[in-house]
Amino acid sequence: MYAFDQSWMSLANHSRLFYSTGSHHLISSNLVLQKNISTSKVEMADSMKGSSESKNICELRFGSYCLWRQEHRERMKDHTVKKMKDLLYVARAYYPSIAKLSKLDKLSHELKQNIQDFERVLSETTADKDLPPQIEKKLDKMESTVARAKSHPVDCNNVDKKFRQLVDLTEDEANFHMKQSAFLYQLTVQTMPKSLHCLSLRLTVEYFRSPPPDMELLLADKFQNPDLHHFVIFSNNILASSAVINSTVMNSEETSSQVFHVLTDRQNYFAMKLWFFQNKYKDATVRVLDIEGLKLDEHEKLSQVHQLLPEEFRVSFRSVDKLSRVWVQTEYFSLFSQSHYLLPDIFPTLRKVMILDDDIIVQKDLSALWSLDMGEKVIGAVMVCTVRLVQLQNYLGENNFDEQSCAWMSGLNIIDLGRWRKLDLTKSFETLVLKLTSEGGISEAAAVPATLLTFQGLVYDLDDNWVLSGLGYNYGLDPEIVKKAAVLHFNGNMKPWLELGIPKYKGLWRNFLNPENTFLSNCNANQ
């Protein structure tokens, strides 16, 4: 994910919709659907009271940054510095009123001098350890001066007015720092770590220095054999895709029939080719494809969209109960990108494939899914029934839909390509995108409702035991449930290869990396 920050798309009944072509906004008052596309922000008009409500609003505005911030909140440090700031705050409030009283010129002068001393000290330090040795004397002097100022009768309205001004300034400053922190959090989340960038560059250089043999023709029959088990991974992350494949084969009883197709972009293609040539995964076969270099004439426009990864969203619902209490429910889920709709054309000879996102880890054998009878369904997926299409009705345009139909998750999906071709779902998707775009939407944003509508009624509900989601944002998952899940999905912003990844889950991912690999060691990618 290279796009920065968020694009917010809100949908709700009886609410005014707003579109912005520059940053793909769709905003309303009751529901917010967030997608990682480009920079944008949402300003909440309604104020909500209470710590839990404030936490919900924080998550509504800034997403998983608030979850990370809450988990990493530290106990108050630098008590003296904070005490100085409090005294400075009070002194500034009283000074204007004291300065107006001619008989208190001496006190006014002392108050002004103390304010200037504190401002000078606080401009040079932010920690107790950096304070000058005589700071205790300055504190005592300021406390004494403030106490004397409070003992004199002053115009309370003036003091109150000054306090309100200072409160407003402090709130503005706090809001600025909150936005700045969220900005830096998103920058960290959306930027490829230096170690992974180093790995890709070194592998690319080595590929052109000593190109591996081209195995495409030699293994062509295996790549096209519909009787084998074919896994598809869309990824531009070498380590992530490697961990997915390694965890899958390590937990499979039989691997000689497994064929992994890694679809990547041109930038990472050569690095991926060398990596999967040098590293073996039991008896499984790995093929790397450059999706930008594929010649798919029938869907030329769609094939030019360089959206490899499944698209992740945050959906927040705001409701008011009978007691006029406001509550916010937030759900995170991911869907197919536009690249996924090229699958029937990329693999014309295959009847069934399994899609694995690159932010998952497999803990159990998946072979039972290949014999799954899905009936007339096209895709097997875990349903997210906390989000129903009726809640997205303004977002789905004028199209007909089942109000009780649930959203579904990518991560682990079994696809019946034969039925996909028979129903021509790629064409249906393209038609829906064009229709939703003509209604005033934006093509990238329109892909989300188009995906939900394209597969409506065609999703086979996989048992929840197959996939446990939330390891990229939820700190509170039950360890026993994590241990028993067949697949762990690190959906959310805190991916395991990032420094911001949730520590207690990162080990589950790192178990499937090779710490002795030379390239990983040279780039510090195995730390």
What's the CA gap between 111 and 126, in Å, rounded? 22
Greatest alpha-carbon pair distance for the chain in Å reads 99
What are the φ/ψ torsions at residue 233 (nearest 5 degrees)?
-130, 120
The DSSP bridge pattern shows strands 25-26 and 229-234 to be unpaired
Cβ-contact 408, 365 below 8 angstroms: no
Taking the CB of residue 442, how many other CB atoms lie within 10 A of it? Answer: 19
What's the CA gap between 505 and 105, in Å, rounded? 63
Predicted pLDDT at 425: 95
Domain extents for the chain? 53-190, 194-523
Q: With a cut of 50, which residues of the chain have pLDDT below it?
A: 1-50, 301, 303-305
Q: Concatenated DSSP letters for 470-521?
A: -TTT-TT--HHHHHH-SEEE--SS--TTSTTS-HHHHHHHHTTS-TT-HHHH
What does the block give as tokens for 380? 């097997």
Predicted pLDDT at 438: 74
Cβ-contact 339, 307 below 8 angstroms: yes
What's the CA gap between 174 and 48, in Å, rounded? 17
CATH of 194-523, one of 3.90.550.10, 3.90.1140.10, 1.10.150.120, 3.30.40.230: 3.90.550.10
What are the φ/ψ torsions at residue 315 (nearest 5 degrees)?
-110, 125
Taking the CB of residue 176, how many other CB atoms lie within 10 A of it? Answer: 10
Q: Concatenated DSSP letters for 60-81?
A: HHHTTHHHHHHHTPPPP--HHH
Predicted pLDDT at 368: 95
Predicted pLDDT at 387: 83
3-state secondary structure 433-464: HHHHHHCCCCHHHHHHHHHHHHCCCCEEECCH
Predicted pLDDT at 21: 28
3-class secondary structure, 309: coil
Q: What H or E segment, with its residue span, contains residue 169? A: helix 156-190
* Sign of the torsion angle spanned by Cα atoms 362, 364, 370, 376: negative
Residue appearing with tokens 């906004």: 25
Q: Which residues contact 89 (CB under 8 A, 6 or more apart)?
A: 166, 170
Q: Using CA atoms in the order 522, 489, 231, 278, what is the torsion angle rounded to 10 degrees?
A: 10
Predicted pLDDT at 321: 63
Cβ-contact 498, 473 below 8 angstroms: no
| CA 84 distance to own-chain centroid | 38
Predicted pLDDT at 241: 97
Predicted pLDDT at 7: 33
Predicted pLDDT at 183: 85
Cβ-contact 377, 425 below 8 angstroms: no
3-state secondary structure 195-252: HHHHHHHHHHHHHHHCCCCCCCCCCHHHHHCCCCEEEEEECCCHHHHHHHHHHHHHCC
What are the φ/ψ torsions at residue 32 (nearest 5 degrees)?
-125, 130
| CA 110 distance to own-chain centroid | 52
Cβ-contact 241, 262 below 8 angstroms: yes
Predicted pLDDT at 89: 82
Predicted pLDDT at 209: 95
Predicted pLDDT at 98: 85
Predicted pLDDT at 483: 94
What residues form DSSP beta bridges with 285? 259
Cβ-contact 262, 286 below 8 angstroms: yes
What does the block give as tokens for 99? 């300065």
What's the CA gap between 282 and 257, in Å, rounded? 11
Q: What is the DSSP letter of 310?
A: P
Q: What is the DSSP letter of 189?
A: H
Predicted pLDDT at 303: 44
